Amino acid sequence: MEQVAVNPWVALAYLVSGVCFILALRGLSSPTTSQRGNRYGMIGMAIAVVTTLVTHVPTVSLIVEGEDYAAILSRVDKSAVFEILAAIGVGAAIGITTARRIAMTAMPQLVAAFHSLVGLAAVLVAVAAYLNPVAFGIADVVTPLIGQPFAVIHQVSRIEMILGVAIGAITFSGSVIAFLKLNGNMGGAPILLPARHPINLGLGLAIAWFAFSFWATQSPWDFWIVVLLSFAIGFLLIVPIGGADMPVVVSMLNSYSGWAAAAMGFTLHNTAMIITGALVGSSGAILSYIMCRAMNRSFISVIAGGFGQTAEAGGAGGAKVDRPWKRGSAEDAAFLMSQAEQVIIVPGYGMAVAQAQHVLREMADKLKEHGVRVKYAIHPVAGRMPGHMNVLLAEANVPYDEVFELEDINSEFAQTDVAFVIGANDVTNPAAKTDKTSPIYGMPVLDVEKAKTVLFVKRSMGGVGYAGVDNDVFYMDNTMMLLADAKKMVEEIVKSLD
C-alpha cells in the first residue's frame, strides 16, 4: 500500500535535521551552551527546507526516468520556484523584523502569536493535503467504469490528517485568544459562559464523531465540520482562563503545536517532523506540569478555568478587616538595604508591567557598591510564561548566576537581612503553608517573611493578588510597605542610595 518512494539519502537528511533539533534543546541545559544549541536548530531547519526544495522541485511536466540533468532542469517551473522563494522571503522579512523590534516584556504575547501561526500552518498543510492527496503520496487514484477518476486517501492517512487539522485548529484559535489576553486587547479576567463544561464536552464528542466518520467515508463534509468545530473548541477552552494562569495555557498551546506537527509528520512520513513534534509536544507538556506543580493545582482545574472568581468571595472578607501596617519611604528602604549584609529581590509580574527591571539592576549595583550581597529569587509562575522573569532580568544585564530558583534559595531567607518584594504577591503568601481554607493552600511559596525585614513594593493597600487572597506579610511587624508605582519607587531608592 506504500506509495511514497523514499530515497534513502532524503530520509537520512531528515533524520540529521531531527537530530539537530534534539541538540538544539539539549544546548539549553546551560546558558553557556545555549547559543550553540540555537545554531544547531537553524542548521536542522536549513537541512529540512533545502532537502524538501530539492526533492520537490515544481515541474511543468513529469520527469521521465533516466533523463539527464539538463533535461530535468528544462522542465523546472521557474515561476513556481520563484513563488516559493518569494513566500519564504516575505515570511523571513516579517519574522526577523518582529523579532528585532519586540520588547522583552511583550515576549509572552509574541510566543502566543507564534503558536497561532504554527497551528494555522498545520491546518493549511492538512487542508492542502486533503485537496491534493496524490501529490503527498497518501492516496490511490481509482478510475471507475463510469465518471471521473478520484483519489482514495489511505485510511491511516485519514486519521493522521484529521488529527493534524483538529489539533492545528485548536492551537490556532486558542493561541489567538491567549494572545489577545496577554496583549491586553481582551480583559485578563476569566469569562465564564453558563454551561461551558457541557458545551465543551459536546463539542469534543462531536469532533470525535465526525473524525471517525471521515475515517470511514472520506466525506468532505466531515472534514470541514471537524475544522470548524476545532476552531470553536480552541476558542471556548481558553476564554474562561484568567491572566495569571497564562503560563500553563502558553505551555499547553506549545505542546499542542508540537502534536500538530507530529500528526502531519505521520501523514508525510517525515522523520524530521515526527521527531520535532515529539520534542515540542513533550516540552510543552513538561512545562505545563512544572507550572501546575508550582501553583499546586491540577492541570484539569486550570483548563476548566475560572480561577480567582470563586476565591474572591471568600478572600474579600479577609481584606476588609482593618489591620495595622507600616508604611515606609524610599529613604527608609535605601537606609535599611544599604546597612544589610544580604538582600534578596523577589520580582513578579508587577515588575514586568512597570518595566522596572533596568532601574532594579541599577539599585542592585548601588547596593553592591555599599558592600551588600544581592540575589534574586524567582518563583516558577512569576510572570505570564515560564522563565519570564529570568529573561527580563537578563535583559537588564543581571548576571544569571545571581538569579536563583525557589528551591535553591528558599532556605536563605532566614539568614537574609532584607527581602525586597517587587510586583509579586501570591507567591509570597504564607497562607499557602498554613491556611487550609485558602485557595492557594499547598502552593510552594517564597519564605520572605523569614527575612529580618520585608520591603513590599505595591501600588496600593486595596488590591489583593490574582487569587483574591489577602497576604499576612503586609501586616507583620518586620514588614514595611512601599506604596507606589514599582518603577518610581525603585528610582527614588536609587537616588537615596547616592
The interface with other proteins within residues 50-69 (CB under 8 A) comprises 52-53, 56-59
Question: Which range in 94-102, 307-315, 345-353, 454-462 contacts other proteins by CB under 8 A?
Answer: 94-102
Dihedrals φ, ψ of 456, to 5°?
-115, 105
C-alpha cell at 244: 495569571
412 binds other proteins (CB under 8 A): no
CB of 13 to other proteins, least distance (A): 11
CB of 158 to other proteins, least distance (A): 13
Beta bridge partners of 458: 483
Among 63, 103, 124, 414, binds other proteins (CB under 8 A): 124
The interface with other proteins within residues 312-371 (CB under 8 A) comprises 368
Among 169, 225, 262, 486, binds other proteins (CB under 8 A): 262
The interface with other proteins within residues 148-177 (CB under 8 A) comprises 156
CB of 202 to other proteins, least distance (A): 30
Cβ atoms of 422 and 351 within 8 Å: the answer is: yes
| Three-state SS annotation for 74-103 | HHECHHHHHHHHHHHHHHHHHHHHHHHHCC
Q: Which of 381, 401, 407, 403 is nearest to 390 (CA)?
A: 403
Among 176, 264, 336, 359, binds other proteins (CB under 8 A): 264
C-alpha cell at 145: 467504469
Residues forming the active site? 426
CB of 17 to other proteins, least distance (A): 7
In the bound state with other proteins, the residue whose beta carbon lies nearer, of 115 and 487, is: 115
In the bound state with other proteins, the residue whose beta carbon lies nearer, of 254 and 438, is: 254
CB of 364 to other proteins, least distance (A): 11
280 binds other proteins (CB under 8 A): yes
395 binds other proteins (CB under 8 A): yes
Q: Which of 485, 365, 375 is nearest to 422 (CA)?
A: 485
In the bound state with other proteins, the residue whose beta carbon lies nearer, of 200 and 416, is: 416
Q: What letters, b where the CB count within 10 A reaches 16 and e where it falls short, cover 198-233?
A: eebeebeeebeebbebbbeebeeebbebbbebbbbb
Question: How long is the chain?
Answer: 498
**Local structure of residue 343 (DSSP, 8 states):** E
C-alpha cell at 466: 490574582
270 binds other proteins (CB under 8 A): yes
The interface with other proteins within residues 196-225 (CB under 8 A) comprises none
CB of 197 to other proteins, least distance (A): 29
CA separation for the pair 449, 417 (Å, rounded): 11
95 binds other proteins (CB under 8 A): yes
273 binds other proteins (CB under 8 A): yes
C-alpha cell at 123: 491546518
Among 7, 29, 74, 296, binds other proteins (CB under 8 A): 29
C-alpha cell at 478: 518586620
Which residue has 491572566 as its cell numbers?
243
Identity of the amino acid at 238: I
Which residue has 491567549 as its cell numbers?
178
Question: Which range in 257-265, 317-325, 333-341, 424-432 contacts other proteins by CB under 8 A?
Answer: 257-265
